[in-house]
Structure 1
Amino acid sequence: MEADYPDLLPNASELEASYYKRTGVYPMHGTIVVKDSVLAEHPWIAKSLYDAFDQAKKEWLARLDAGEATAASDKKYLELRKIVGHDPLPYGLQANLKTIETLEATAFRQGLTPRRMSINELFVDPLAR
């Protein structure tokens, strides 16, 4: 069953496109969380998770390209491609660095974090393991 997440603003798509044009930032749509203790004991997990999700996304992108992915969410991501390019859900630190840096600075400015934090404190780079 597909969840329905209504936009907060009626012209959200236009606002997102405008913000992306001005800043190069399009919010990430999620993260995968693994406990530090699990990664310490099984350091291969981060890369294995990344590889599994990346392979699934490659297959999904191929279905989008072929016109075979036709769910409402697929149509949303086809529209998003017009704003952000071929891959509407980029994975990895490098692909999301500008967004992560903006998120970190905003979290600090809003008092959600006690101090400025480095990217390496916040995220594990599965491609660097």
Structure 2
Amino acid sequence: MLLSGEIDAAIGAGPVDSPDVQPLFSEPDAADAAWHQKTGIYPISHMVVVKNARLEANPGLEQELFEVFKTAKSHYIEGLHSGDHPSQADRALLKMAEVVGDDPIPYGFESSRKTLETFVRFNVEQGVIPEKVDPEELFPASTLTLA
């Protein structure tokens, strides 16, 4: 889409083999690292949403789901660090690990707190939501300390 001119810019387009597509910033990896070091914000890429009614009908479901995803992530991270995953996405995560530490996929509320607080603040400032919401209110209390 970048090459055809259908879009003028993209986030996370990955490598494009054309001189017509260039990063917006010189040295984008260094800019990413500097921004993370300055703000402590790490973009959230996925989130699991479960209706309150489903949680109320199935006590402990939130903890079970958390553990299932945590286990899957643990296996993936082990393989990532062992070099078993040579894909482009895996190499990008290993680059991110150089910036944020051994775990390039932070998991749990506390690791996302600063990002969530910033997201809420930006949404209030831009008029997307009418007032500030405490991120803790968006998650079952039993999940706030899971990591």
- Give the equivalent residue in structure 1 for 2:134: 118
Taking the aligned partners of 1:111 and 1:127, their CA distance within structure 2 comes to: 27
The 5 A counterparts of 1:29-68 are: 29-68=45-84
Taking the aligned partners of 2:107 and 2:129, their CA distance within structure 1 comes to: 24
Residue 127 of structure 1 and its aligned partner are, at CA, apart by 5.2
Taking the aligned partners of 2:70 and 2:102, their CA distance within structure 1 comes to: 15
Q: Deviation per CA, 1:62-102, whole angstroms, max 9, x where unpaired?
A: 11121111111111100111111111111110111111111
Cα pair distance change 1:76/1:61, threshold 3 Å? same
1:18 maps onto 2:25 in alignment:
no
- Give the equivalent residue in structure 1 for 2:13: 6
Q: Which has the larger radius of gyration?
A: 2
CA contact (8 A) 2:110 2:145 kept: no
Q: Which segments of 5 or more consecutive residues in structure 2 lack a partner in the other structure?
A: 1-11, 15-21
Q: Give the aligned residue type for 2:81.
A: D
Q: Comparing both chains, which one has the higher relative contact order based on Cα–Cα distances under 8 Å and sequence gaps of 6 or more?
A: 1
Taking the aligned partners of 1:127 and 1:51, their CA distance within structure 2 comes to: 13
- The SS at the match of 2:118 is helix
More helix by share: 1
Taking the aligned partners of 1:43 and 1:106, their CA distance within structure 2 comes to: 34
Q: Give the aligned residue type for 2:126.
A: Q
CA contact (8 A) 1:47 1:127 kept: no
> How does the TM-score come out when normalised to structure 2?
0.76
CA contact (8 A) 2:110 2:144 kept: no
CA contact (8 A) 2:121 2:132 kept: yes
CA contact (8 A) 1:29 1:89 kept: no
Q: CA RMSD in A?
A: 1.9
> How does the TM-score come out when normalised to structure 1?
0.85
